[in-house]
Amino acid sequence: MAEMNFELVRDAIEDLLISKAGTDFRVISAQTRAQAAEEVKDNNRSVEVYYSQGDFPQGQGSLSGPMTHEVTFKIDLTASAAAKGDLATLENPAATPAEIAAALTGFKKARIEADRSLDELWRLVWQALMAASSIDLEMSRKIASRWLTNYRKDTPITHGELVVLTGSADFTCKIEEETTGLIPVTPDPAEFDTELQVTHDPDGVIDDKGKAGVYVENPA
């Protein structure tokens, strides 16, 4: 069955970001694996796109189609920075207050670096998706009311000596969907075993040519 337009738009967003990424960030798609925190440190940032929600408002389209599909795609962003502080110092009960303060300063600086890195990543993604040349995501079909909004940052998380910061935004647009219905699939007879076999005989004798495919409890 052919893909619906929202699936094509999702893939088009990914393809557009991949074409603009260069060495500034990477796009995690169905063809790439999940990344550990160590793999997104410093300039190795990542973006992920997925279909978040969709609405089909009544009155916008006909029952036989096409129908207006108001879609929202979530754009997740991740950046991190290596802490210059010494984690071992923070975990050492014998560390002096001065040593602990110096180690904490390193983690605070890493939070700032991760924050600035995520800001830059958001700028790159926003410019790529909202440029006039991207109004139809380089697709042949028309996309209405495209918009990128609701950018939010999450709380920084420390993974070992890495500070990881994530954020997300919503990419919204309107597209048309056609109704094609479900196409029934005819089973392949070769996939089924049509040979009839005896499962049980009350006399204790199995007759391959007689009774077939019926299970009978022995009353004895």
pLDDT tens track for 127-179? 999 999 999 998 887 899 999 999 999 999 988 778 899 999 999 999 999 88
Q: CA-CA-CA-CA torsion for 93, 97, 99, 104, nearest 10 degrees?
A: 90
**pLDDT score recorded for residue 215:** 47
Q: Is the pLDDT of residue 81 over 50?
A: yes
Q: What is the CATH number of domain 5-177?
A: 3.30.2000.10
At 80, is the pLDDT very low, low, confident or very high (cuts 50, 70, 90)?
Answer: very high
Look at residues 75, 48, 73 and name the one whose alpha carbon lies nearest to residue 169.
75
Residue 213 has pLDDT above 50, yes or no: no
Residue 196 pLDDT greater than 60, yes or no: no
pLDDT of 214 higher than 50? no
pLDDT of res. 59: 77
What confidence score (pLDDT) does residue 197 get? 56
Burial grade of 172 (CB within 10 A; 0-12, 13-18, 19 or more): middle
pLDDT for the residue numbered 159: 80
For residue 12, the model assigns a pLDDT of 95
Q: What is the DSSP letter of 42?
A: E
Instruction: Quote the pLDDT of residue 211.
Output: 47
Q: Is the dihedral of CA 84, 89, 95, 97 positive or negative?
A: positive
Q: Which of 96, 158, 170 is closest to 126 using CA atoms?
A: 170
Q: Is the pTM of this model over 0.85?
A: no
CA distance 26 to 22: 8
Is the pLDDT score of 182 beyond 70? Answer: no
| 199 or 184: which leads in pLDDT | 184
Domain segments of the chain as ranges: 5-177
Measured between its terminal Cα atoms, the distance across the chain in Å is: 55
Are 128 and 134 spatial neighbours (Cβ–Cβ below 8 Å)? yes
Q: Average the pLDDT over 12-23 and give the result.
A: 94
| Phi-psi domain of 192 (left: phi exceeds 0; alpha: psi -120 through 50; beta: other) | beta
